[in-house]
Amino acid sequence: MKPILLQGHERSITQIKYNREGDLLFTVAKDPTVNTGTPSIVLTGSADNSCRLWDCETGKQLALLKTNSAVRTCGFDFGAVVLSVGAEIFITPEPAQPAEGDNLTLVVSGLSGEVLAYNWYAGPSLSLAYLLASYIISTGEETPGPAHTGREAVRPDGSLDIQGALPGHSSTYILQTFNRQFQTEVGYGHVKVYEILTQPVVMANNSMALVEHRDTLRLLCSSPSPAEARWFFNGQVIRLGLSPDGRTLTRQGIRREEAGTYQCEVWNPVSVSRSEPVNLTIYYGPERVAIFQDSIARTGCTIKVDFNTSLTLWCTSRSCPAPEYVWAFNGRALKNSQDHFNITSMTASQEGTYTCIVKNSKTLISGSASVVVKLSAAAVAMMIVPVPTKPTEGQDVTLTVPGYPKDMLVYAWYRGPASEPNRLLSQLPSGNWIAGPAHTGREVGFANCSLMVQKLNLTDAGRYTLKTVTLQGKTETLEVELQVARECVEGGVAWRGGGGASFSVSLLPRMRNNATFLNLNLAQAEHGAGEAMGRTRVGRGDLVLYIPDGFLRLLAHPSPIALE
């Protein structure tokens, strides 16, 4: 409730009223302005030789103070420290807002006439029980009263000193003066001594770890002082969810956004003390369970994997605390409690449905996500295939590589083992190829790893080695034995022996160095021996057979055959 002083009336105040909003209303004469404040006690004076002390919160009259004359002035201190009334007497505290331990002086002004003596009272009335001290000006004699605490002393000018004021010195103070005619004047004031506040403590009605949407947060600001309290969340003032006295903070159906640090603070005009922070944890989830591959969400999708390659599946969710993980393959639990699952070398036996199951041990909520993993279209195993498969000297041959890696970084061909002196050529990441020490000028490389050897000769036969490196750093080495046949023409002779038996000779190569002159000595078991020179007439001239070892084929026929 906020008391409001309505000023500007000529007539004296005789009563207090409330407006519809419950605010306390009263008037003070000869002041056209309207003032507002937040005092807890109000002192009013009137022309009926009386002053009244009021409780602003309830409107209850706390005390009735009688004076010897009409009250002509009424002073209001906006700090709610002192209210004073009287004929001309004003009581002003120094300091204006005294703190516990301060030396306090109630300074008196506005005394009229020749004053002989003072009486100071600490209470709502001029009762002997509230008498602090009596002071005679002429002798300087001070006599303590029943309410004296040993800290009070009266000055000759009527002011009251309080050494090391305590919160217990908060009270209504009354100054009574006596003049030579034994008339008295009275001044009134209310002094509030503020304590130095100790650090409050935040107390929770339950754990500081709560489940979202299920639990209620209730925090109490515990302090021995009745000072006002306020709350802070992550350093920001909270104004909602507070009890009327501000000491209790309540949050129904707590949310994850309310997780953080909480503090309470007690304060008065001279002291502030804030509690140590307490941290609130909110448990939630798991939510939005998903499976990722290479940072791409694949939940509910089919993932195709090349044969013998690797695959890593990652399981993610929103959860506090981090959930427990279980992986299943085709409904069967696997021995894996991590947030990821690895397939190091994909095979047909690993095709199927992979499921990630997550569970929050605090919320007792579970969730899952699945993907289907399948082999890609059957990949051709990498190998080296010569084209043509049986090349002869003088031909071009291409060593093709079906199934070469599509993510290839570099490759190199070698004549024999894979060593630098044997390197024919290499292809760089740029796609260009460079010749090696063994390059003869007849070898050409292609982007698909193939190697073409032009115009073969017999010395090109032998081992060829291919070495590949992929972008992932995987290295593979393949070898092939290249056979090179001598150049040949199709031809042959037929010969009839005695007794009706027939033989044919199929001639493949032409005559070369190291060829052998062929004499055919053929024996017939049935018709006796026969001898023939492998010699026949083909066109013009005679053809003499010179056959290198391994290229003669004798074919027995039931009847003679013609020359091919």
Task: Assess whether 367 and 400 both reside in one domain.
Answer: no
Please tell me the total count of domains within the chain.
Answer: 5
Are both 139 and 18 inside the same structural domain?
A: yes
Q: How far is C-alpha 461 from the chain's CA centre? A: 64
478 and 492 share one domain: no
Per-residue pLDDT tens listing for the chain (564 residues): 444 454 444 444 555 555 544 555 555 544 445 455 556 677 777 767 677 777 776 777 877 776 655 565 554 443 334 344 444 788 999 999 999 999 999 999 888 778 999 999 999 999 999 999 999 999 999 999 999 999 999 999 999 999 999 999 999 999 999 988 778 889 988 899 999 999 999 999 888 999 999 999 999 999 998 889 999 999 999 999 999 999 999 999 999 999 999 999 999 999 999 999 999 999 999 999 999 998 888 888 999 998 888 999 999 999 999 999 999 999 999 999 999 999 998 887 899 999 999 999 999 999 999 999 998 865 557 889 999 989 999 999 999 988 787 778 899 999 999 888 888 878 877 778 889 999 999 999 998 889 999 999 999 999 999 999 988 888 889 999 999 998 754 444 444 444 444 444 444 444 444 333 333 333 333 333 333 333 333 333 334 444 444 434 333 334 343 333
DSSP 509: E
Pair (320, 295) in one structural domain: yes
Q: Return d(Cα 409, Cα 427) in angstroms, integer.
A: 9
Are 315 and 456 in the same domain?
no
Spell out the SS3 assignment of 16-58.
CEECCCCCEEEEEECCCCEEECCCCEEEEEECCCEEEEEECCC
At 502 the pLDDT is 41
Structure confidence by residue, pLDDT tens digits, 395-427? 999 999 887 877 788 999 999 998 888 888 788
Q: What is the full DSSP assignment across 311-328?
A: EEEEEEEEEESPPEEEEE
Report yes or no on 249 lying in a domain.
Answer: yes
Residue 138 token pair = 């002429």
What is the spatial distance between Cα 550 and Cα 536, in angstroms, rounded to a whole number? Answer: 21
Max CA pair span of the chain? 188
| pLDDT value at residue 38 | 58
- 160, 178: one domain: yes
Residues 338 and 417 in one domain: no
Instruction: State if pTM tops 0.75.
Output: no
Asked whether residue 380 is assigned to any structural domain, the reply reads: no
Alpha carbon distance 369, 314 (integer Å): 11
Determine the pLDDT at residue 471.
84
- Amino acid, res. 545: L
Q: Please check whether residues 177 and 60 belong to one and the same domain.
A: yes
Residue 189: CB atoms within 10 Å = 26
Same structural domain, 180 and 101: yes
Omega before 286 within 30 of 0, i.e. cis: yes
Is the C-alpha dihedral spanning 64, 66, 71, 74 positive or negative? negative
CATH code at position 209: 2.60.40.10
Residue-level pLDDT at 492: 47
* Listed residues 159, 191, 223: the one ending a domain: 191
pLDDT of residue 72: 55
Q: Which residues contact 524 (CB under 8 A, 6 or more apart)?
A: 497, 498, 499, 501, 530
Q: What is the pLDDT of residue 294?
A: 87
Same domain, yes or no, for 169 and 234? no
22 in the same domain as 127:
yes
- With b for 16 or more beta-carbon neighbours within 10 A and e for fewer, the 132-161 pattern comes to bbbbebeeeebeebebbeeebbbeeebbbb
Structural domain includes residue 360: yes
Domain interval for residue 176: 4-191
Q: How many CB atoms lie within 10 A of CB 312?
A: 12
Helix (H, G, I), strand (E, B) or coil at 175: strand
The answer to the question of residue 163 being in a domain is: yes
Is 23 inside any structural domain? yes
409 and 328 in a common domain:
no
Domain end point (choices 136, 170, 191): 191
563 in any annotated domain: no
- Alpha-carbon gap, residue 431 to 447, rounded angstroms: 7
95-to-16, 37, 79, 105, 195 alpha-carbon distances in Å: 31, 19, 11, 7, 14
